[in-house]
Each structure stands twice: as C-alpha cells, then as structure tokens.
Amino acid sequence: MQNMIMNRRTLLSVSVVGLVGGIAGVGWLKAQESSADTATQTPTKKTMTDAIKLDPNPINIEPLELDKAQWQARLSEEAYYVLRKEGTERPFTSELNDEKRDGEFACAGCDLVLFKSNQKFDSGTGWPSFFDAVEGRVGTKRDFKLILPRTEYHCARCGGHQGHIFNDGPAPTNLRYCNNGVALKFIPA
C-alpha cells in the first residue's frame, strides 16, 4: 500500500514537472521562432510570421456557412472529420500526394482554389505539400493540440481545416503547407 501511494505521488510530481517544462518550452520556442524570423528575414523569403499575418477574411471572398447537417450531407465522413473537426488523415493515403499534372487544388468543402500545381512539391511526408498558397485564400491560427505551437491553416471561404505550415519547405518561401489530401480536390488544367 505504501509503495502504491509513493508511486502515485511520484507520477503526480513527474506530471507536474513535465507540464511546467512543456509550458516553459512553448515560451522558449515562441522566442526562438520570433528571433529566427527577424534574423533570417529577406525581402523575397516568406516567414512563419508572414503566414500568420494573412487576412483570414479576404474582402473579395463570400463566406460559405453551413450547419452541421448540411456539411455532413456535402462531405464524406473522412472529409468532414478533417475539414470540420480539424482531424488529420493517415499519411500516404491520398492520391493527391502523387498528383503531378498541371492544374489547381481547391478546397473540397467549397471549391475555392487554394494552390496551383506549380506550388506543389514532394516533401516525402505522405501528405500533399505546397511551398506557397494562392494569395488571400487561406487563413491561419495557432494550434497547441500537441502542446508545442503549430500554425494551422484553413480555407478562407468555408473555414475548412486544411493542414499546418512548417518552416522546412523549399525556396523561395522555405515554407511547407502540409495539406490533408481529403481536404482538397484537383482540377486539371
């Protein structure tokens, strides 16, 4: 019995220390990201800070607002999970990951074109990846679901979750828009 109480106390202590360390790490990462962005910023390079400043409600795009039942009728179960519940599909499951034809990639929820084929690259991650988005077509927000901060992006028209932006993409932006394939549809040129 004494060992069980000690184990619970140890577990609680370790959990509290881990939580405090995680919170401190988030602050440290924000400071590092901020100083790295300003230290490496050049006129032709987009930074995560630039991506975060994108207008989430571009003035020329009419919002599409549907209720839960309308979204469920419009989308497959997996697309609903990703677009409306901010889920993530399994890697290497989307045919769009290998799509190499000329064309456009539109939001599967509302048909707004988010990416052009010349912005796509093979990241090796198992998800369709782009180094840039069509200007004004995505909005961003901070995501702390995995404790460490990430930048989530979504369709500017319907608010559908698309994926996350990372700083490990190719030039000229050095960004990787890591997109769920089920959240997109491909429109050949």
Span 23-45, pLDDT tens digits: 334 343 343 333 333 333 333 44
Q: Residue 139: what residue type? A: G
For residues 75 and 135, membership in a common domain is answered with: yes
Residue 178 known to be catalytic: yes
Mean predicted lDDT score pLDDT of the chain: 77
For residues 125 and 72, membership in a common domain is answered with: yes
Domain with residue 114: its CATH number is: 2.170.150.20
* Long-range contacts of the stretch 118-124 (C-beta < 8 A, 24+): 121/169, 121/170, 123/169, 123/176, 123/178
For residues 23 and 49, membership in a common domain is answered with: no
For residues 177 and 135, membership in a common domain is answered with: yes
Integer Cα distance of 167 and 139 in angstroms: 17
For residues 70 and 122, membership in a common domain is answered with: yes
Span 110-164, pLDDT tens digits: 999 999 999 999 999 999 999 999 999 999 877 666 667 778 999 999 999 999 9
Q: Which position among 110, 155, 158, 178 bears the catalytic label?
A: 178
Query: Which SS3 state, helix, strand or coil, does residue 88 take?
Result: coil
For residues 25 and 99, membership in a common domain is answered with: no
Question: What mean pLDDT comes out for the span 49-58?
Answer: 44
Beta carbons within 8 Å of 67's beta carbon, 6+ residues apart: none
Whole-prediction pTM? 0.68
For residues 130 and 174, membership in a common domain is answered with: yes
Q: Supply the range of the domain harboring residue 28.
A: 1-40
For residues 82 and 13, membership in a common domain is answered with: no
Q: How many folded domains does the chain comprise?
A: 2
- What are the residues facing 154 on neighbouring strands? 139, 161
